[in-house]
Structure 1
């Protein structure tokens, strides 16, 4: 299960969230407008979409994390030395955990819709992804 289900779930979710960030760089989808988007996903109530370059970079980082997961799990051909991929996997774990736990501090001053979704969905999802990433990293360390 550690070599099959955990990495695949992590990869699929990271890819999906990464692709959403690419969409969000150019569109407020699935929200009807930028104001609704920023209140629920962006955290502010000013209606100003996050800058496209930074949103694309987040998307690239998430998709890179998905590819790294597959490389560490030996599901796709690997690039670079084993130790560097392993450091990257632990780094991914730390970043996801920091977003998950630190996300609760993002609620201060944020739009109420974002606060609610961040508390019940965004931050817990990041903590769960950090746990999956840590499992993949630990399993690869033992090989």
Structure 2
């Protein structure tokens, strides 16, 4: 039961973040412009172009599907080993981003650094732990 509940919550959050990245490929919402958006969500001086935003958004949406599939909440398409490897890669990447996230604050603006410490890095760490629960 925990396996499925944690998987569902993790997948919903990953999908929401993925959709947000796709939106950022086309719009600076909820900011006024791309410079303001970058000051909150990116450690660099300006927001990445459409292609990286869409790539990250697509990867997060695929990860959400993978979590649902590993949690047996939707059918799997393709070999089982791919899901096994995928969930461990996802968990590792999210945990690494969560733990090493403060290193991204070097040279970053104040807004990003603050949000990274209080929201982005902890969220990545929690999602990584959730992916580990689903992987078990």
Shorter-chain-normalised TM-score: which range? over 0.9
Q: How does 1:118-129 map to 2 (within 5 A)?
A: 118-129=116-127
- Alignment partners' CA distance in 2, 1:102 and 1:28: 26
For structure 1, which runs of at least 5 residues remain unmatched after alignment?
139-143
Q: CA deviation at 1:79?
A: 1.4
Which has the higher mean CA deviation after the structures are superposed, 55-64 or 79-88?
Answer: 79-88
TM-score, with normalisation over the residues of structure 2? 0.95
Q: CA deviation at 1:89?
A: 0.4
Where has structure 1 moved over 4 Å in runs of 4 or more?
A: none
Q: Tell me what 2:2 maps to.
A: 2
- Alignment partners' CA distance in 1, 2:3 and 2:126: 17
- Alignment partners' CA distance in 1, 2:31 and 2:43: 14
Q: CA deviation at 1:3?
A: 2.9
Match of 1:64 among 62, 65, 85: 62
Give deviations 1:2-53, integer Å, cap 9, x for gaps: 2331011001000000000000011110011222111111223x4x321211
Q: How does 1:34-113 map to 2 (within 5 A)?
A: 34-44=34-44, 46=45, 48-113=46-111
Q: CA deviation at 1:80?
A: 1.8
- Alignment partners' CA distance in 2, 1:63 and 1:102: 23
For structure 2, which runs of at least 5 residues remain unmatched after alignment?
none
- Alignment partners' CA distance in 2, 1:2 and 1:51: 39
Q: Tell me what 2:20 maps to.
A: 20
Q: Tell me what 1:29 maps to.
A: 29
- Secondary structure of 2:41's partner? helix
Which has the higher mean CA deviation after the structures are superposed, 13-22 or 67-76?
Answer: 67-76
